[in-house]
Chain A
Amino acid sequence: MATVDGMAAIRETFFQECAEQLTEVEAGLAAMDEGTADAETINAVFRAVHSIKGGAGAFQLDRLVRFAHAFETVLDLLRGGKIALSETLLKTMFHSNDALADLVAASRGGGEVDERRMDALTDELLSVGGGPAADPAKPSAADQMDGLDFQPITLSFDEFGLGGATPDPRAIAYSITFTPRAELYQKGNETARLLRRLGQLGEMTAHCDASALPPIDKLDPGGAYLSWRIELTCDEGPAAIEEVFDFVVDDCELTIVSRQEDAPRSEDEVRVVSPDSPLAEAPRSDVAANSPEPAPNRSAAIDAARPAAEKPAGDHGKSEPASGATIRVDLDRVDRLINLVGELVINQAMLSQKMMEAGVARTSGIDTVLGALEQLTREIQEGVMATRAQPVKPLFQRMARIVRELAEETKKSVRLRTDGETTEVDRTVIERLADPLTHMIRNAVDHGLETREARLAAGKPEQGEVRLSAAHRSGRIVIEVSDDGGGINRAKVRAKAVEKDLIQADAQLSDGDLDNLLFLPGFSTNSTVSSISGRGVGMDVVKRSVQALGGRISIASRPGLGSTFCMSLPLTLAVLDGMVVSVADETFVVPLTAIVETLRPKKSDVHGLGVESRVIADRGGFAPLIDVGRELGCRADPADPLAGVALVVETEISARCALLVDAIHDQRQVVIKSLEANYRNVPGIAAATILGDGRVALILDVDTIVANCSRGAFASAQVLAAAS
């Protein structure tokens, strides 16, 4: 059972690495597209595809191997300068990368592969690779195709699928001697598997030569003493046989003698010869095999494979990520660590507070030590948090694919430009951002950009542009999706909202309010729900997912020039900078990001409005004054605004609002604790935290509090929407 689990784990590692390799390929292709690619870029792409092929081979994922092989062949020609990079080729390669991703996903056990598309692509790749490769003068490296046409190779893969092929008139007889060295086994290869694969090529008999086997007391259990003499009759070229040994060729002695032309055992026919006797003692031949120049026929193959094999383990799906030294850590462990550090921060704060209360802090050196402890704790916390941060690059690359596919579906010409791909953000944020971002990108291409004709008519370039950018801004990550399309058609939005009873026909709405109508549930401006954007979710779902992450989303749109959707998200879901305030003897935390300024209300500034509401003078206008205590049910009577403090907050519902609290105590970073874990979501409360005294304090959800109080047109629109 342990071995099964072990295999599953290795398999899982392989797929994780595939994901990394695919990212690498995508990045490389993007660079080629931008025209910033150099030789190393193409090499990197080649290596990535080659590694996928290698790993897939080890797991007998034949379909994946087959496709990766075709892809790799084209890449190899490209890096050898045998074919030129054209737009068509680039497109094919982008598609191939998508297809490769699909195949990897399908092999992993999820997702379907469009077989017809896959076959078409394989043909496409082969036709690109096949042409130039037909030239026999070409040393078409990596794939051991020396001097061979490409076409037979394709056929040979088909033969794999059929299993043991019956020898036909064209059958060639080979004598193969194969002597593994200890390294071959150390790298996890297995001779039995190689022999089985060889057996699939044709009629095979294998003899094991155990003559080198030492007496048992001299036997090194990690050594390699056996060699094989194999007689194989098949209709494949020698390349097919070398292919079988592709990943072990550096770690064994291998000779392949073809007896096709009635000249059995002619030394001239020896295609791959190691200078040593095939039965040379394994460990010692190591030196011998590495020193001499490789046999000419084989050299191309080996040299090409070398970049990928610099870390030889890479060919077995165990390569390290290209950049720097990294380790894989189970996410649960990181999360446990983060929880523990959170506890540490709380305990450290409690310790400081108790010391203060006991009055010892000032009198001894304790306060210095406590200060140092606090500093250390904070650094540890930041360090641990950073381990969860990841660049948004993979996420952006997924979007690149979506744009490509959509552009084809909608017959629009679209270019995606990305910015700030290296911006790092918490892994959970990235994961949970994928769906809303996908939807926004779909919207931008499908609804945002005009058709080619409309663009040309409007005097714009035919190719539309969608920009995706990420940046850190004041402790948050801001992700923007913008298009240079027609902008939001506000008249249409309004008509639609009236038709759907979302707003009154005579409602006075600003442009911003109209744009925000897009976020109402059940709103869709496109009169024909297309298969692309209309998948049952609208911008309201996007907004909800962004809010669930503690983020905000806003729209800016200019008619004829395009729209920008801007998401502002916290960098991590674990800590938050907050202002500690008190309301009716309860302590609350207000997220600092929501607060614009604080002010102490003066008598002349506060005015009653109607029976319940009050407003406060603010920058020449009036902002609604929200009594937090009453809103949360902490007290029945309205608080005295003159005795309290007003926190001016900005939300996307209402530009400026003032929250009335009793007093401000502190400003600090707090660890976010879920209320949902043991209870449930509470309206007006975003989460909880634990303060220095060990008590729980609630973190206010400013947006919902403001939304609940807002009496504006937008609020009534929401009420209407909720009712319908």
Chain B
Amino acid sequence: MSNASATVANEFIAFRVGTQEFCVDIMSVREIRGWTPATALPHAPPYLRGVINLRGSVLPIVDLAQRLSFPRTGATQRHVIIVVQVENQLIGLLVDAVSEILSQTTDAIKPMPEVATDSVKSFVRGMLAIDDRMIGLIRLDAIMPPNIETAA
């Protein structure tokens, strides 16, 4: 690779949503914890499951499956919340299970194929191809609802 920065190894946390695999950059992950029932927020989009108490601060929980237009997660105690930092805010991502930590160079991130629909495209930044698996890299800054949605 001509570009030196392209070969820097990055670590990603991979997790399962339904039958598919996704990942986020490990640098944005603050902690991983089990599911606890969330308090619903009024006037919030359906994928926003509500808020939970994260050691004294109020953490909004996004049902990642529902956000990616899969069916709503029937959350149980075995489900997992990945706490990620987006800019100055913490968000909890509700996923089915965390699978592993991947170490990959940034040039292993392939652009999204053209077939992808717009709704997936807006939440997935690129694809990691490892052996015969395909793992979508979540675009974290697009996860939370834009301001207009809650104002309605």
A565-602 CB contact bits vs B (8 Å, 1 = yes)? 00000000000000000000011000000000000000
Partner of A682, one of B56, B59, B150: B150
The interface stretch among A27-35, A387-395, A684-692 is: A684-692
Partner of A679, one of B56, B89, B151: B89
Say yes or no: B41 contacts A682, CB within 8 Å: yes
Q: Say yes or no: is B77 at the interface (Cβ < 8 Å to chain A).
A: no
Say yes or no: B39 contacts A698, CB within 8 Å: yes
Say yes or no: A695 contacts B53, CB within 8 Å: yes
> Can you list 6 residue pairs at the A/B interface with Cβ under 8 Å?
A342-B56, A634-B42, A673-B56, A674-B58, A679-B89, A690-B56
Within 8 A of B (CB), among A100-130: none
Say yes or no: B56 contacts A678, CB within 8 Å: no
B36-68 CB contact bits vs A (8 Å, 1 = yes)? 111111111000001111011111100000000
- B124 smallest CB distance to A (angstroms): 23
Say yes or no: B56 contacts A343, CB within 8 Å: yes
Binding site for B on A (CB under 8 A): 339, 342-343, 346, 586-587, 632-634, 673-675, 677-680, 682-685, 688, 690, 694-698
Q: What is the bound-complex CA distance between A694 and B37, given in angstroms?
A: 10
Partner of B43, one of A339, A586, A684: A684
Q: What is the bound-complex CA distance between A587 and B40, given in angstroms?
A: 10
Closest to A585 in B: B40
Tier of interface size on chain B = 20 to 34
Contact A696/B52 with A677-B58, A677-B89, A680-B150 known, Cβ cut-off 8 Å: yes
Closest to A681 in B: B150
Closest to B151 in A: A683
Q: What is the bound-complex CA distance between A698 and B39, given in angstroms?
A: 8
Closest to B39 in A: A696
Within 8 A of A (CB), among B9-54: 36-44, 50-53
Say yes or no: A685 contacts B51, CB within 8 Å: no
Q: Say yes or no: is B2 at the interface (Cβ < 8 Å to chain A).
A: no
Q: Say yes or no: is B147 at the interface (Cβ < 8 Å to chain A).
A: yes
Say yes or no: B43 contacts A682, CB within 8 Å: yes
Partner of A678, one of B37, B38, B59: B59
Contact A678/B89 with A343-B55, A673-B56 known, Cβ cut-off 8 Å: yes
Q: What is the bound-complex CA distance between A684 and B147, given in angstroms?
A: 16
- A381 smallest CB distance to B (angstroms): 14
B150: A residues at CB distance < 8 A:
680, 682-683
Q: Say yes or no: is B98 at the interface (Cβ < 8 Å to chain A).
A: no
Q: Say yes or no: is B137 at the interface (Cβ < 8 Å to chain A).
A: no
Q: Say yes or no: is B91 at the interface (Cβ < 8 Å to chain A).
A: yes
A694: B residues at CB distance < 8 A:
36, 53
B151: A residues at CB distance < 8 A:
683
B90: A residues at CB distance < 8 A:
678
Say yes or no: B37 contacts A346, CB within 8 Å: no
- A104 smallest CB distance to B (angstroms): 34
Partner of B40, one of A343, A586, A675, A690: A586
Closest to A344 in B: B56
Say yes or no: B57 contacts A698, CB within 8 Å: no
B52: A residues at CB distance < 8 A:
695-696
Q: What is the bound-complex CA distance between A55 and B56, given in angstroms?
A: 43
Given known contacts A678-B57, A679-B60, A690-B56, what 16 new A-B pairs fall within 8 Å (CB)?
A: A586-B40, A634-B42, A673-B56, A673-B57, A673-B58, A677-B89, A679-B58, A679-B144, A680-B147, A680-B150, A683-B151, A684-B42, A688-B39, A688-B51, A695-B37, A696-B53
Contact A677/B57 with A634-B42, A682-B150 known, Cβ cut-off 8 Å: yes
Within 8 A of A (CB), among B105-152: 144, 147, 150-151
Which 5 pairs show the lowest CB-CB distances between chains A and B?
A632-B42, A696-B39, A679-B60, A688-B58, A678-B89
Q: What is the bound-complex CA distance between A322 and B57, given in angstroms?
A: 39
Partner of A685, one of B42, B56, B147: B42
Contact A683/B89 with A678-B58, A696-B53 known, Cβ cut-off 8 Å: no
Q: What is the bound-complex CA distance between A633 and B39, given in angstroms?
A: 13
Say yes or no: B51 contacts A679, CB within 8 Å: yes
A677: B residues at CB distance < 8 A:
57-58, 89
Partner of B39, one of A346, A684, A697: A697
Partner of A695, one of B39, B42, B56, B144: B39
B78-113 CB contact bits vs A (8 Å, 1 = yes)? 000000000001110000000000000000000000
Interface centre among B37, B58, B59, B60 (most CB of A within 10 A): B58
A342: B residues at CB distance < 8 A:
56
B55: A residues at CB distance < 8 A:
343
Say yes or no: A696 contacts B51, CB within 8 Å: yes
B39: A residues at CB distance < 8 A:
586-587, 688, 695-698
- A685 smallest CB distance to B (angstroms): 7
- B92 smallest CB distance to A (angstroms): 9
A339: B residues at CB distance < 8 A:
56
Contact A675/B147 with A685-B41, A696-B53 known, Cβ cut-off 8 Å: no
Interface centre among B36, B41, B89, B150 (most CB of A within 10 A): B41
- B43 smallest CB distance to A (angstroms): 6
Closest to B60 in A: A679
A698: B residues at CB distance < 8 A:
39, 41-42
Q: What is the bound-complex CA distance between A698 and B53, given in angstroms?
A: 12
Q: What is the bound-complex CA distance between A342 and B57, given in angstroms?
A: 11
- B33 smallest CB distance to A (angstroms): 13
A586: B residues at CB distance < 8 A:
39-40
Q: What is the bound-complex CA distance between A632 and B43, given in angstroms?
A: 7
Say yes or no: B43 contacts A683, CB within 8 Å: yes
A675: B residues at CB distance < 8 A:
51, 58
Say yes or no: A682 contacts B44, CB within 8 Å: yes
B91: A residues at CB distance < 8 A:
678
Closest to A700 in B: B42
A678: B residues at CB distance < 8 A:
57-60, 89-91
Q: What is the bound-complex CA distance between A682 and B39, given in angstroms?
A: 14
Q: What is the bound-complex CA distance between A698 and B60, given in angstroms?
A: 13
A683: B residues at CB distance < 8 A:
42-43, 150-151
B37: A residues at CB distance < 8 A:
695
Q: What is the bound-complex CA distance between A682 and B58, given in angstroms?
A: 13
- B88 smallest CB distance to A (angstroms): 8
Closest to A675 in B: B58
Q: What is the bound-complex CA distance between A682 and B59, given in angstroms?
A: 14
Say yes or no: B43 contacts A696, CB within 8 Å: no
- B107 smallest CB distance to A (angstroms): 33
- A152 smallest CB distance to B (angstroms): 60
Q: What is the bound-complex CA distance between A682 and B41, given in angstroms?
A: 8
B41: A residues at CB distance < 8 A:
679, 682, 685, 698
Interface centre among A586, A632, A680, A683 (most CB of B within 10 A): A680
B38: A residues at CB distance < 8 A:
696
Q: What is the bound-complex CA distance between A404 and B90, given in angstroms?
A: 48
Closest to B41 in A: A682
- B29 smallest CB distance to A (angstroms): 15
Partner of A633, one of B43, B57, B60, B147: B43
Q: What is the bound-complex CA distance between A343 and B147, given in angstroms?
A: 30
Say yes or no: A696 contacts B58, CB within 8 Å: yes
Q: What is the bound-complex CA distance between A694 and B44, given in angstroms?
A: 22
